[in-house]
Structure 1
Amino acid sequence: MTEQYPRVAIVEDNEDLREELLFYLTRRGFPAWGVGSAELFWKQLHRQSVDIVLIDLRLPGEDGFAVAQFLHELTGYGLVILTARGDHQTKLRALNLGADLFLVKPINFAKLADSLEQLGQRLSQTHTHEVAPDVPSNGASNWRISRTGDALMPPDGQPIPLSAKERELLNILIDSNHQIFTRQSLHDLLFEHEEEVELHRIDVILSRLRQKAKRYEVQLPVRTLFGKGIVFVGDTPSR
């Protein structure tokens, strides 16, 4: 993040509004880019990192709620919801998905820019105090993959069933405990024989793992470190 202005992405299918927002924010000094769909956003995100994402709820294809949910699970991103629907239920759902701001159209551009600057400062402070990947985890218990390879064995609690790709991902992370992997490196390891690179697939696998762990009332020791990558921070068996 720059000293003053966070990097901003705008996901808005109204081309006129998107271009107006981009023009105003870049004139104010924000590094910014915009796209018209969730699918284009995920592709562009792997080329240009951002700190804050402005998301319109009514997008073609994957809607804004789905984008917000994925970003919230990844952690580290500021989320701003843009919508023409200002009803209480919509606002509550957005806030429950981790939205930092909920803005109803038409938008006051000057107030938006001020809010983005303030949000960027809060995010910067949060990242400064982020837990380092080499901080010891809780106790001497160990995380491991079951002998049959079909479950993750937490130190306490029930085994968590794994799909083939979930197992492959965890094997990589656990075998290199506390080592940070970029999404690109994980994709290369998991999908080495596929020509098209879709880094979003790593996020999908992680999201499913976290949802499973949550159902089993277990906190998965996999962290997404902002601007760095993905790391496993739980204790593992000594080798």
Structure 2
Amino acid sequence: MEATSVGDVAERALPAWHVAVLEDDASLRDQVIVPGLAQFGFKATGLGSAAELYRSMLAHAFDMIVLDLGLPDEDGVSVARYLRQFSAIGILVLTGRERQHDQVHSLDAGADVFLRKPAGVAELAASLHSLGRRLQAPLPGTTVDNETHSPGQGDWRLQTGGWHLVSPGGVVVSLSPSERCVMQLLVDARGAVVTRKDIIFALRQDSYDFDPHRLEMLIYRLRRKVRELALPVLPLVTVRSSGYAFVIGHPAASVP
């Protein structure tokens, strides 16, 4: 996989997408893909395992991911399936596997693009730029008219079948499937604590196959999503050693 001149891709004037490169081959990752993508205008972060990706996503908002299927701790198809459930991140699979069913399984799991190694950096960059254009969406923070909301939930409410969280001022926060699942549980509980075990079970029916750190990452990103829109603090509180609660009209400090 050889780097190609930046001039070979006319898209280099586009915004700097932040791309996670999840590849366990350190030489390929750090000496070829990451610096190669940087030449084409991307901000690229190299990661060597699924666990490292999940930790990194607590601190960074990635637009897209270049995903290898052969990882040391989790199959890449499983990672793609989780990411698609959790977010709208762009997923490009880059693998040395040649079996047809790997492509089928990857796309079924939610991958947007499937490339086989060796693929040139120019081809990879062009594919990411194409994917980036498809991911473009209206700016967050669209304001909607107030609607009747569920009693007891104050001015924060869910609408459109739970896919949007609406602030007291009517600003829409779009939710991923996992965020929708969590918020629906919390809203239905009407201020009562929902345990981590119950949330994890709802997110993944086989709770033994769900990394608890993913729940922490989901809650963190949801809070950050609200904060980045300069909205009132989301009344989603962490109840130590228990779970979470969506508390309207009560300070977080009042929850043990």
Quickly name the TM-score band, shorter chain normalised: 0.5 to 0.7
Report the counterpart of residue 185 of structure 2 in structure 1. Answer: 170
Write the distance in 2 (CA, Å) between the matches of 1:81 and 1:96.
12
| Corresponding residue of 2:25 | 14
Task: Say if 2:15 is the partner of 1:4.
Answer: yes
Q: Where does structure 2 lack aligned partners over 5 or more consecutive residues?
A: 1-12, 154-160, 162-180, 206-220, 228-233, 235-256
Q: How far apart, CA to CA, are the structure 2 residues paired with 1:132 and 1:53? A: 27
Runs of at least 5 residues in structure 1 that lack an aligned partner in the other structure: 145-153, 155-165, 177-188, 192-201, 213-223, 232-239
> C-alpha displacement at 1:209, in angstroms?
2.5
| Aligned-partner residue type, residue 106 of structure 1 | P
Q: Specify whether residues 134 and 46 from structure 1 end up closer, same or farther in structure 2 by C-alpha distance, changes over 3 A only.
A: farther
Corresponding residue pairs, total:
180
2:99 corresponds in structure 1 to: 87
Alignment of 1:133-212 (within 5 A): 170-171=185-186, 175=190, 208-210=201-203
Q: Which amino acid aligns with 1:11?
A: L
- TM-score if structure 2 supplies the norm length? 0.55
Q: Does the 8 Å CA contact 2:185/2:199 hold for their aligned counterparts?
A: no
Q: Does 1:48 align with 2:41?
A: no
Q: Contact 1:80–1:100 (CA<8 Å) still a contact in 2?
A: yes
Counterpart residue identity of residue 170, structure 1:
L
Q: TM-score scaled to structure 1, two decimals? A: 0.59
Kept after mapping to 2: 8 A contact 1:51/1:78: yes
Name segments (4+ residues, structure 1) moved above 3 Å: 129-137, 139-142, 166-169, 172-176, 204-208, 224-227
Distance 1:7 1:18 in 2: 15
Distance 1:75 1:167 in 2: 13
Asked if 1:228 corresponds to 2:229, the answer is no
Deviation at 1:171, TM superposition (A): 2.5
CA positional deviation for 1:135 = 7.1
| Higher RCO (C-alpha 8 Å, min separation 6) | 1
The aligned counterpart of 1:78 is: 90
1:29-87: per-residue Cα shift (whole Å, max 9, x none)?
21110111101111111112110011110100112111111110012200011111132
- Residue 32 of structure 1 aligns to a residue whose secondary structure is strand
Instruction: State the SS of the aligned residue for 1:81.
Output: strand
| Structure 1 residues 156-203: Cα deviation after superposition (integer angstroms, max 9, x where no partner) | xxxxxxxxxx98982368648xxxxxxxxxxxx989xxxxxxxxxx8x
* Deviation readout 1:125-166 (Å, 9 max, x if unpaired): 23x1779586778x9899x9xxxxxxxxx9xxxxxxxxxxx9
1:57 matched to 2:81? The reply is no
1:196 maps to which residue?
Answer: none
Structure 1 vs Structure 2 CA RMSD: 4.5
How many percent of aligned residue pairs carry the same amino acid? Answer: 30
Q: In structure 2, how many angstroms separate the alpha carbons of the residues matched to 1:41 and 1:14?
A: 15
CA–CA separation in structure 1 for the residues paired with 2:19 and 2:118 = 19
